[in-house]
């Protein structure tokens, strides 16, 4: 019989603790706010994760983590045809295109990115099926849950704090107009520059996040940093009506 329930009653942290302590094997399916995820385990170890309808194939994961470009992924897919992921991985290694370590590191990053995002899912439904595992052609890994639970709990706390600072992602951003506030003089990361390139009162923070394929936590973290640096202000988007009584 499958274990199922509501995330309001049993959090992701509690579910992972149960899976870890009971050394469970199977797949945890989650649904929240129109999103879905599947996370698989073997003997209490995290082995696989997939988020919604994202491309979970090896080439898709390698492209998403930046190990290869989207164009390279398309070329590999075309040449590989219907070959399974494991065979594609071996071909990439034998051709000297990627090392086994690079492939496993990419899969690890992709899996952790998904599982950490799930810690912020506070509402929705879950189901654990002991007889459900990833497709046989998928390359799985083995990750200990203890460190994941600790780090995920930290990220959840950070997410809650950032949500207090930036509660509404439907607001927009604009550059400050103050002497000495020149964004060209600031050392920003690649991700921060990607966000900066979309800053315009016409674009909401949520739209910027979607354009850059960032989670709510990731976009809030970057926006908070820009706010703290005095580079941007949160403004009402162009066309948004003023609240009643304003």
- pTM of the entire predicted model: 0.81
Please name each of the domains of the chain with its CATH number.
3-162 (no CATH), 166-235 (1.10.10)
Local structure of residue 183 (DSSP, 8 states): G
Quote the percentage of the chain above a pLDDT of 70: 94
Spell 180-202 as b/e; 16+ CB within 10 A means b. eeebeeeebeeebebbbebbebe
- Alpha carbon 33 to chain centroid, angstroms: 15
Res. 235: pLDDT tops 60:
yes
Distance in angstroms (rounded) separating the CA atoms of residues 128 and 84: 26
pLDDT of residue 226: 94
pLDDT at 187: 86
Both structure tokens of 181: 């506030």
User: Is residue 195 within 8 Å of 212, Cβ to Cβ?
Assistant: yes
State pLDDT tens for residues 66-119. 999 999 999 999 999 999 999 999 999 999 999 999 999 999 999 999 999 999
Count of all residues that appear for the chain in the document: 246
- How far, in Å, CA of 139 to CA of 43, rounded? 17
Per residue in 11-65, pLDDT (tens digit) is 999 999 999 999 999 999 999 989 999 999 999 999 999 999 999 999 999 999 9
Q: Identify the pLDDT of residue 31.
A: 98
Please check whether residue 193 is in contact with residue 183, taking contact to mean a CB–CB distance below 8 angstroms. no
The pair of three-digit structure tokens given for residue 1, joined into one six-digit string: 């019989």
Q: Is residue 109 within 8 Å of 65, Cβ to Cβ?
A: yes
Q: In the prediction, which pLDDT does 141 show?
A: 98
């Amino acid at each position: 019989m499958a274990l199922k329930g509501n995330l309001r009653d049993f959090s992701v942290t509690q579910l992972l603790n149960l899976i870890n302590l009971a050394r469970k094997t199977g797949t945890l399916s989650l649904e929240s706010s129109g999103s879905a995820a599947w996370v698989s385990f073997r003997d209490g170890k995290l082995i696989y994760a997939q988020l919604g309808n994202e491309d979970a194939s090896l080439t898709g994961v390698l492209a998403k983590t930046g190990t290869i470009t989207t164009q390279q992924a398309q070329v590999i897919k075309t040449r590989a045809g219907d070959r399974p992921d494991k065979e594609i991985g071996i071909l990439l290694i034998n051709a000297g295109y990627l090392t086994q370590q690079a492939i496993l590191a990419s899969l690890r990053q992709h899996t952790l990115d998904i599982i950490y995002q799930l810690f912020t899912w506070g509402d929705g439904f879950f189901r654990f099926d002991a007889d459900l595992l990833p497709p046989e052609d998928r390359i799985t890994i083995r990750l200990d849950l203890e460190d994941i639970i600790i780090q995920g709990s930290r990220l959840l706390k950070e997410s809650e704090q950032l949500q207090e600072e930036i509660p509404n992602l439907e607001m927009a951003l604009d550059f400050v107009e103050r002497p000495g506030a020149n964004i060209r003089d600031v050392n920003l990361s690649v991700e921060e520059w990607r966000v900066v390139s979309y800053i315009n009162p016409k674009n909401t923070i949520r739209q910027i996040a979607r354009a850059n394929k960032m989670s709510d936590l990731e976009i809030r973290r970057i926006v908070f940093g820009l706010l703290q640096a005095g580079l941007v202000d949160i403004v009402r988007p162009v066309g948004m009506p003023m609240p009643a009584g304003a």
